[in-house]
Every structure is written in structure tokens, then in C-alpha cells.
């Protein structure tokens, strides 16, 4: 379980963020806040820096300048809290092909919670993988592999989820199920930041737009507007 966070009006606060790659500015002077109970979509064309931004927020990319605060304090002073309280799912499913969905899910939730095999089995059934529970993942389709990774979200109690292309390869029913999961998470006070080329059927999204050398954020449900 995660520990209580320090009181602050935001989980993440980003100020004047700049990132250059291959001598190209991906974004500059980008400022926004991520507050509890909100959903934020990072938008932009291919190559505009969405994955890069998400990895920076997760602390997986150091190639940036600016300020990043976590719960009111400079992020670099509290990596333990950051790592405990942020869930990052990358655009690749991040599962092992030689392992079964059950074994992958056991590995994904291990270390945070002790969850029985029956509970994991129900979670796999919930994401439509019941019949494939014990097949090696290398024999599954792209969408089924993505479902294995997304089953992890059913056990995720981290206050901030960073999801890169979570809808990729999912069929219509699975997309709707993930949307419901995210909406529920936000209703419960969690925060979600995601990249997706799919237009989610979700209300009150803050948008961060990247691309064409421009970056801006808009419609912060918490009332704060920042721009690049």
C-alpha cells in the first residue's frame, strides 16, 4: 500500500519545462499542474514528444531543464515518495513472453501487495484473459498482451498513473472497459496522465498539446491555466 502523501494542492507541478532531442526543441516553457481527481491527456502528432514528456514526469528521462515539484517540494529531494506513488505503464506492454498472463501479473503486483492466485485469476478473467491465463504470453495477440499489462491497473493504488498509449491494440470493448477504469480512478481522487491517439470518451480532461515547436496546456479542471 502507498503511504499518505504530504499535503499539497498538487501531485506534480511542472514549471518552464524544456526538452531538446537531436538538436530539436520538443517543448519549451511548458508549465502545468497535476492535481488529484483529474485526467490529463498529452496530445500531439507522432514524434512531438509525448512519450518523452511522460518519461520525464516518471523520472525516467533526465534530458530536460526547468522545475518539477512533487507534492509541494522539489522532486529530486523525494525520489522514494515519487517511486512509491507513481505508476508508469510504457507504450510497450512490458511483459515477458515466456511467462503466462498469471505469472506476469504476479510479477507486476509483487512487492506492493500480497494477492492470492484466485484474486489474480479473477482479474485476468475481468480483462478477458481467463482462457489464456496459463498460456505463454508470446502466443497471445498484441491486444491480449496489452490486456495483461492493463490488468495491473486493477491492483494499482498509486495516486498518479502515467499511461503511454494504453489503448493501443485494444478492441472496442476493452477500450470502453479501460475508460471506465480511468473514470473510476479519477472519481476516487486519483490522477491520470495519458498519451493516446484514440479520442477517449471521458469528461473534463486537461489537455497538454505538443508539436510544431509549440507546447501548451489548457482546461485544467482545477482552474489553473498554464501555457508554453
Ligand X SMILES: Nc1ncnc2c1ncn2[C@@H]1O[C@H](COP(=O)(O)OP(=O)(O)OP(=O)(O)O)[C@@H](O)[C@H]1O
- Applying CB under 6 A, the residues found at the interface with ligand X are 21-22, 26, 44, 46-52
CA distance 42 to 121: 33
Q: What are phi and psi of 193, to 5 degrees?
A: -120, 125
Q: How far is the CB of 147 from ligand X (least distance, A)?
A: 20
Q: Which residue lies nearer to ligand X by CB, 150 or 215?
A: 215
Q: Which residue lies nearer to ligand X by CB, 24 or 122?
A: 24
Number of Cβ atoms within 10 Å of the Cβ of 95 = 23
**DSSP for 135-186?**
S-GGGS-HHHHHHHHHHGGGG---SEEEEESTTTT--HHHHHHHHHHHHHHH
Q: How far is the CB of 29 from ligand X (least distance, A)?
A: 18
Query: Coil, strand, or helix at residue 59?
Result: coil
Q: How far is the CB of 74 from ligand X (least distance, A)?
A: 24
Q: Which residue lies nearer to ligand X by CB, 51 or 126?
A: 51
Query: Coil, strand, or helix at residue 43?
Result: strand
Counted residue by residue, the chain has a size of 228
Q: Which residue lies nearer to ligand X by CB, 10 or 209?
A: 209
Q: How far is the CB of 196 from ligand X (least distance, A)?
A: 9
Q: Are strands 160-164 and 191-195 parallel, antiparallel or unpaired?
A: parallel
Q: Which residue lies nearer to ligand X by CB, 56 or 105?
A: 56
Q: How far is the CB of 26 from ligand X (least distance, A)?
A: 6
Amino acid at each position: 500500500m502507498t503511504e499518505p502523501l504530504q499535503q499539497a494542492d498538487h501531485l506534480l507541478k511542472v514549471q518552464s519545462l524544456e526538452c531538446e532531442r537531436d538538436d530539436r526543441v520538443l517543448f519549451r516553457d511548458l508549465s502545468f499542474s497535476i492535481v488529484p481527481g483529474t485526467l490529463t491527456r498529452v496530445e500531439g502528432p507522432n514524434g512531438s514528444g509525448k512519450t518523452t514528456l511522460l518519461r520525464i514526469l516518471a523520472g525516467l528521462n533526465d534530458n530536460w531543464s526547468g522545475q518539477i515539484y512533487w507534492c509541494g517540494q522539489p522532486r529530486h529531494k523525494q525520489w522514494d515518495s515519487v517511486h512509491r506513488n507513481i505508476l508508469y505503464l510504457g507504450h510497450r506492454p512490458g511483459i515477458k513472453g515466456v511467462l503466462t498472463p498469471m505469472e506476469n501479473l504476479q510479477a507486476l503486483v509483487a512487492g506492493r501487495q500480497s494477492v492470492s492466485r484466485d484474486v489474480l485469476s479473477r482479474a485476468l478473467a475481468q480483462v478477458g484473459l481467463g482462457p489464456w491465463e496459463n498460456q505463454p504470453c508470446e502466443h497471445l495477440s498484441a491486444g491480449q498482451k496489452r490486456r495483461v499489462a492493463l490488468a495491473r491497473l486493477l491492483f494499482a493504488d498509486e495516486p498518479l498513473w502515467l499511461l503511454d498509449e494504453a489503448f493501443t491494440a485494444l478492441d472496442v470493448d476493452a477500450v470502453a472497459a479501460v475508460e471506465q477504469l480511468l473514470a473510476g480512478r479519477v472519481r476516487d481522487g486519483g490522477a491520470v496522465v495519458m498519451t493516446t491517439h484514440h479520442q477517449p470518451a471521458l469528461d473534463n480532461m486537461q489537455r497538454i498539446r505538443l508539436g510544431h515547436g509549440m507546447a501548451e496546456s489548457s482546461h485544467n479542471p482545477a482552474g489553473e491555466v498554464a501555457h508554453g
